[in-house]
Structure 1
Amino acid sequence: MPPAPPSTRPQFDPLVVSPPLARARHLTGARDWPGLVRYFAALDHPDEEAAACRTVGGTHGSETFLRQVADLYPADPLPRVLLADRLISLGWEIRSGARAQHVTAAQFEQFHAHLRQAEQLLIAVCAQYPAYALAWYLRGITARGLELGQSEARRRYDRLAAHHPHHYPAQRQLLQQTCPKWGGSWEAAHGFAEACARAAPPGSQSPAVVAEAHFEHWSDLDGAEATGYLRRPDVRDSLLNAAAASVLHPSFRPGFHGVTAHTYFAFTHSVAGRHAEAAPHFRALGNCADEHPWLFLPGRDAAAAFSKHRASALGRG
């Protein structure tokens, strides 16, 4: 996260925020399979592999290239996992991010068809490579999209966690599953987030899921009730403890997910009017941020909302 003048317009593009991810997009667009193999081999953390995988899967038109590579190297798990991710991305584009009541039957049919294709690839990889983090991570996404339920989603997460116990991207996925909008409850969502925080080593990304859980709860409320929720003393303490154990800990290593983690802390404190608590997160972010939470504020202008709250935090905090 490069330092930048606080007056500069925020940058939300993840390929700019995390420049190494742009390399993954470039190699995919260039159909450079040897280059992609070297790129993934150089990544030293499962969290970073997950971010790179999602970048490849989100590359427009990459499905033809990835199918060819998967056919060419049938024993290699990486091309199958990347192809599965691309199928998931295509399916989610068809479904859209709308609530279920606003998605048509035809959209759901195509969405599920893509996820089932991805599932077949991932099931085979998991059978051959039970500790393969990327495959189990993606199966957490397909479990939610295919509406396989809380127990199956948790089973898949537990299989991943047995080998990679503090996998932040997978924890973010299961957090979504535990929220009421996907059949869970706020008790389950907060319980899972706090459990991740308690188990995490100092300086881990994992406690940041606490901030995301509070954001999700806030987004399900309206008006004064929503603001009042984030202003509760117990919510404040929960956020402060999670930040101290993760993004504000001396051993914290941002990686590809540091911007997202800091963003949710900055957002939740800002909306609650706690400028001093939000300030260190805005300082760490500079001009970089995750766009998602800021789009939930009135006007849906993420750049304006981020800039406004950053100015308040840095001016008063």
Structure 2
Amino acid sequence: MTAPSDFTIDPAVAYPELVPLRTALRDGDWPAARRQLTDLPAGTRTSLVQMSSGYGSRDLFESAVRADPGDTVAAAMLANRLVNDAWAVRTHKMAREVSREQFVRFHELLGEAERVTSDAVAHDDSDPTLWTVRLPIARGLEMGQAEVRRRYGQVALRDPHHLPAQHEMLQQLCPKWGGTLDRMHDFALQCANAAPEGAQNPVLIASAHFEHAATLSGGVHKYLNGREVADELRQAAQRSVFHPSFRRTVGWVQAHHFFAFVFGLMGDRATARRLFETTGNLVSETPWYYLGDPLTVYREHRERAMRKRRWW
């Protein structure tokens, strides 16, 4: 059994392709970093951009964009960095707990990201990675459901099963961002059913049910164990992380942990334990960061799943 001290949240341990990219960014070598992102599947490239933009400086990305305004990956890196900085200022607290000064800076940073991506799209509108980073920008600036759907449509047109964009779209469809539970669940099911068997996309069903459970003041265990919900979750896991065609591509740890989270909340210790054992010492920030420090929350849920007695 993996010892708690062995757990790591470093994504480069799970995804070795991130190592040379991170090194190049830390060294300020944009050409080397750009080469690491060439000829990758669109979804993988987007995921790596999301994971790595914090390793490079804004100056590095700004210089790359100035040198080649048509480099959509450089623009996506810069915009993603700005988006992350914006959310770090705003925090994930409820709006009423965020100060006016925080909101002002939040919108300033998102406005910069919007200008960067708008200019890049004017040069080349074909990159799903660039359109994906435009989704949280539109959400944060409250551009509305129609605009976010339009932007997501640009991704889906070019890469129908682009999971990073689908995760962003799912967030937009949550009630907390002006969507509805029905639209959120419908979108998750559509994406999951359209994807090839063994893909990660059915994790959206687990994500949607977590978001639904988060709206409840109580009765999460009962909700997740409702026959229709439980069946959906089990079918999604069988079609994805438990399918023989599932591969450990970028994002596979997060997919396992989303399912481990919801199965643990259901009280299905055997399934949760199986998922935790598969990922070994690897820990994804999502979904654990929703409830606090990722490593701390992960350990708590893993320990519960490993117990021999029931914990409900």
Judge same fold: TM > 0.5, yes or no. yes
Extract unaligned runs of 5+ from structure 2. none
Residue aligning to 2:161: 166
**Which sits farther off after the overlay, 79-88 or 148-157?**
79-88
| SS of corresponding position for 1:147 | coil
Q: What is the CA deviation profile of residues 146-181 of structure 1, one whole-angstrom value per residue up to 9, with x for unaligned ones?
A: 111111111111111011000111111111111111
2:42 corresponds to 1:46: yes
Which amino acid in structure 2 is aligned with residue 235 of structure 1?
V
2:4–2:299 CA contact under 8 A, matched in 1: no
Over aligned residues, Cα RMSD in angstroms? 2.3
Correspondences of 1:24-173 after superposition (within 5 Å): 24-42=21-39, 44-59=40-55, 62-173=57-168
Q: How many Å separate the matches in 2 of 1:31 and 1:285? A: 32
| SS of corresponding position for 1:41 | coil
2:217 is matched with which residue: 200, 218, 222?
A: 222
**Which sits farther off after the overlay, 258-267 or 17-26?**
17-26
Q: How many Å separate the matches in 2 of 1:165 and 1:25? A: 28
**Which sits farther off after the overlay, 126-135 or 141-150?**
126-135
Task: Flag the 1:290–1:120 CA change in 2: closer, same or farther, 3 A.
Answer: same
Which amino acid in structure 2 is aligned with residue 32 of structure 1?
D
Which amino acid in structure 2 is aligned with residue 55 of structure 1?
M
Deviation at 1:97, TM superposition (A): 1.5
Percent identity of equivalent pairs: 35
2:262 is matched with which residue: 238, 243, 268?
A: 268
Q: What is the CA deviation profile of residues 211-250 of structure 1, one whole-angstrom value per residue up to 9, with x for unaligned ones?
A: 0111111222234x11211121211110111111111111
2:28 corresponds to 1:22: no
1:251 is matched with which residue: 245, 248, 258?
A: 245
Q: How many Å separate the matches in 2 of 1:280 and 1:218? A: 23
Extract unaligned runs of 5+ from structure 1. none
Correspondences of 1:270-309 after superposition (within 5 Å): 270-294=264-288, 301-309=296-304
Correspondences of 1:1-20 after superposition (within 5 Å): 5-9=1-5, 10-20=7-17
Which amino acid in structure 2 is aligned with residue 52 of structure 1?
L
2:229 is matched with which residue: 235, 238, 244?
A: 235
Which amino acid in structure 2 is aligned with residue 98 of structure 1?
K
Which amino acid in structure 2 is aligned with residue 209 of structure 1?
L
Deviation at 1:287, TM superposition (A): 1.9
Which amino acid in structure 2 is aligned with residue 117 of structure 1?
E
Greater RCO (Cα-Cα under 8 Å, separation 6 or more): 1
| SS of corresponding position for 1:181 | helix
Q: What is the CA deviation profile of residues 252-278 of structure 1, one whole-angstrom value per residue up to 9, with x for unaligned ones?
A: 122111111110111101111112332
1:176 is matched with which residue: 148, 171, 176?
A: 171
